Amino acid sequence: MSAVIEIEGLRKTFHSLRNGRRVAVDGFDLLVEEGQIHGFLGPNGSGKTTTLRALLGLVRADSGRMSVLGEPSPELLPRVAGRVGAIVESPQFFGNFTGYRTLRLLARAGGVPVSRVDEALELVGLRDRGDERVKGYSLGMKQRLAVASALLKDPRLLILDEPANGLDPAGIREMRDLMRSLAASGVTVLVSSHILGEIQLICDHVTIISRGRRVAAGRVDEVLAGHDRHEFLVRVAEPERAVELLHAAELTAVVDSDALVVNGVTDSTVISRVLGEQGLWVGELTPLRPDLESVFLELTGAGEDPSVPRQVDHAAPLPGAEGDPIDLDVRGVDA
Ligand SMILES: Nc1ncnc2c1ncn2[C@@H]1O[C@H](COP(=O)(O)OP(=O)(O)O)[C@@H](O)[C@H]1O
Ligand SMILES: [Mg+2]
């Protein structure tokens, strides 16, 4: 597996008259390898966008080492820019242009053959709607148009910052399907999000950030396994008596409404044996596995930045990031 993105010890501090000094990214590490769909997860204000902007040379890092497709970034990013598509923050387009015209302009500006426009529209499922004006597009279609703009160059790496933002469940599903098909065609995808919606269902690897620091990273199943408390939900006729029996057998158990939860058990047959020996028959024995959402909340629960609006990132565009589609060398379509 070769590294597509490597970040080590990234640090970025913002200084402003109003807020003083603010450490946005605080010694952060990220490793994305070829072929991954890598989820970059963290609450609003945890430093995701700043990390991506620093990686792409859109903001200057204080310190840290970064590389993209093997080239030190941002210094030698131009060498690989043709193989990287990125959309950081919500893109804006001219409402009066059609999707097709928007992409054709971007293709010309980026030195990409115009023939690529049809392919990009096809890839994002907008081929039939390319002749319509962008102002008639749904938010999901605009997001897909943004992805199409990043796909013009036929990139090997696609970086999407909060692509599910503002989308309804159907739009999120479309975005998820799109990412899955891109990954199937061999594109490495790094996708950031502050909501553990359906986008995260498709990630095979995750890096979780909280207050500018990495708090978990790795394969989704490994991250989950690391937070497995070996808990089981047990249903029996007499939960209180069952708890007593389990305590007597030195197991940790609590009554939870009409059932009980036993934890720290690696072999669940112990539970049914202890209870069965005393004539209490187990009706249900279900492992309680952690899901990504509970791990995320556990790791970042106190990590939300209260000064940053919840849910909708683009409610407060950052200075200098007013939402242009940032495609490295192809940019500048603005409303
Ligand atoms: N241009 C900026 N000037 C000052 N502070 C900023 C700027 N950009 C981001 N920040 C601050 O840095 C922190 C991380 O923000 P950001 O990277 O946008 O987080 P995320 O993308 O995870 O929501 C926040 O506290 C935010 O207010
Ligand atoms: Mg952000």
pLDDT value for 37: 95
Do 247 and 105 belong to one domain? Answer: no
pLDDT tens digit sequence for 6-35: 999 999 999 988 888 999 999 999 999 999
State the pLDDT at residue 137: 93
Nearest CA to ligand 1 atom 10: 24
Is 330 domain-assigned? no
Cα–Cα distance for residue pair 95/12, rounded to 1 Å:
35
Question: Does residue 253 lie in a domain region?
Answer: yes
**Residue 229's pLDDT band (boundaries 50, 70, 90)?**
confident
Q: 147: which 2 tokens? A: 């992805």
Structural domains in the chain (count): 2
**Which atom, in ligand 1's list, is nearest to the CA of 47?**
17
- 196 & 275 share domain: no
- Residues 137 and 246 grouped into a single domain: no
pTM: 0.81
The span from the CA of 89 to the CA of 317, in Å, is 8
Residues 207 and 241 occupy one common structural domain: no
Atom of ligand 1 nearest to the CA of 16: 4
235 and 310 part of one domain: no
Q: Is 329 among the domain residues?
A: no
Do 241 and 305 share a domain, yes or no?
Answer: no
335 occurs within a structural domain:
no
Rounded distance between C-alpha atoms, residue 197 and residue 219, angstroms: 18
Q: Answer yes or no: are the C-beta atoms of 178 and 147 closer than 8 Å.
A: yes
| CATH number reported for the structural domain that contains residue 39 in this entry | 3.40.50.300
Closest ligand to Cα 306 = 1
Domain final residue, candidates 273, 288, 303: 288
Nearest to residue 235, comparing CAs of 286, 303, 290, 311?
286
Q: How confident is the model at residue 330 (pLDDT cuts 50, 70, 90)?
A: very low
In this prediction, residues 160-174 reach a mean pLDDT of 84
Q: What is the CATH number of the domain that holds 244?
A: 3.30.70.100
- Residues 309, 280 within the same domain: no
For residue 301, what pLDDT is reported?
A: 78
Label residue 308 by pLDDT band (50, 70, 90): low
Instruction: Please indicate, yes or no, whether residues 278 and 174 belong to a single structural domain of this protein.
Output: no
320: in domain: no
- Which residue has better confidence, 311 or 61? 61
Domain match, 163 and 56 both: yes
- Give the range of the structural domain holding residue 236, as residue numbers without chain letter: 230-288
| Residue to probe by mutation, ligand 1, list 7, 13, 50, most atoms within 8 Å of CB | 50
Examine the domain organization and report whether 44 and 142 are in the same domain.
yes
Q: Are residues 148 and 59 in the same domain?
A: yes
Q: Write out pLDDT tens, residues 44-74.
A: 999 999 999 999 999 999 999 999 999 999 9
Q: Are residues 102 and 213 in the same domain?
A: yes
